[in-house]
Amino acid sequence: ENRPIPEPGPNEVLLRMHSVGICGSDVHYWQHGRIGDFVVKSPMVLGHEASGTVVKVGSGVTHLKPGDRVAIEPGVPREMDEFCKTGRYNLSPTIFFCATPPDDGNLCRFYKHSASYCYKLPDNVTFEEGALIEPLSVGIHACKRAGVTLGSKVFVSGSGPIGLVNVIVAKMMGAASVVITDISASRLQKAKEVGADFTIQVKNETPQEVASKVESVLGCMPEITVECTGVQACIQAGIYATRSGGTLVLVGLGPEMVTVPIVNAAVREVDIRGIFRYCNTWPVAIALLASKRINVKPLVTHRFPLEKALEAFETTKRGEGVKVMLKCDPTDQSP
């Protein structure tokens, strides 16, 4: 609250923040102070799923003006390196990324950001939908990397927020049927709400048994598996479940070293692909939301004012609901 209001540079905009979603990574930094090689060494502002209103523009900004409502892409390349030149700027090793040490996030009243990575929201897209573009982008990037297309049979492992957006996007991209697994019955019910065709509640089954259940409900082995948990047993189940010649995309992040049946994947030509965040997804997501071709509103289950941020983080930590949203602008009275 005592931070000075920042002044935007020539190619930046100053935003009054509106909606900021809480991500599992935010909670992890809060609780553990690190994720892999990213270590919090000094106080850091959290938040990277965000939208807000432009209040001031830098001298070089021409596509935005004060009063514009925007969604914020949190990853901004610092240099035009080889990855930027090929359109895969998310892989740039020097990229700025909100709430990844040492870069501050945007869970605050006022925040400045590169204007090129702020996208104007159409009038019929809400601030909350704008904030949800960030997790939605993970689904868009994952399903593109997986090659989801008309008639695809897809297995999504894990029914958290990222699993759910992968269900939404896979169905949008033409998947004929999507099956999703989780240990939580309530989360599987939410998956049904957003478009999953089949749900499987996992208890104590072996990875091979999970794979067998997936094949049973789909009527065949899926060509595509999207693994959203990072849990070793789930990655194993993903390999066993995927049809020979198919693709497994690893989205969830777990321990650095995991034991997997790699020979099983190799001899069946199962392609294993990773994803790192996303790139070139905001325009696509905004077009889908504006056309009402997809609906992400059911993902938001809890809302808190910024003053109750601790309560919001505790709610997320306990795994309650799906997406917890913080409202940063006390002057705004919209629902």
Helix axes 207-218, 232-241, angle to 10 degrees: 40
Contacts of 15 (CB under 8 A, 6+ apart): 52, 53, 54, 55, 70, 72, 106, 110, 111, 112, 113, 118
Q: Are 265 and 239 in contact (CB under 8 A)?
A: yes
Pairing label, strands 118-120, 69-72: antiparallel
- Point out which residues pair with 273 in neighbouring strands: 249
CA–CA distance, 11 with 116 (Å, rounded to integer): 8
Return the pLDDT at 334: 58
Element (H, E) at 145: helix 127-146
CA–CA distance, 108 with 83 (Å, rounded to integer): 31
Return the pLDDT at 329: 83
CA–CA distance, 137 with 135 (Å, rounded to integer): 5
CATH 3.90.180.10 assigned to 12-120+296-327: yes
pTM of the model: 0.96
Q: Burial, 314: exposed, middle or buried (Cβ in 10 Å; 0-12, 13-18, 19+)?
A: middle
Return the pLDDT at 330: 74
Q: Burial, 280: exposed, middle or buried (Cβ in 10 Å; 0-12, 13-18, 19+)?
A: middle
CA–CA distance, 125 with 206 (Å, rounded to integer): 43
Q: What are the phi and psi torsion angles at 300 (to 5°)? A: -85, 115
Buried-exposed string 43-52: b where 16+ CB fall within 10 A, e elsewhere = ebebbbbbbb
Q: Are 299 and 323 in contact (CB under 8 A)?
A: yes
Q: Are 151 and 40 in contact (CB under 8 A)?
A: no
Return the pLDDT at 2: 66
Residue spans per domain, the chain: 12-120+296-327, 139-274
CATH domain 139-274 topology: Rossmann fold (3.40.50)
Q: Are 272 and 258 in contact (CB under 8 A)?
A: no
CA–CA distance, 279 with 237 (Å, rounded to integer): 28
Return the pLDDT at 332: 72
Q: Burial, 226: exposed, middle or buried (Cβ in 10 Å; 0-12, 13-18, 19+)?
A: buried
Positions of the chain with pLDDT lower than 70, given as ranges = 1-2, 333-335
CA–CA distance, 184 with 188 (Å, rounded to integer): 6
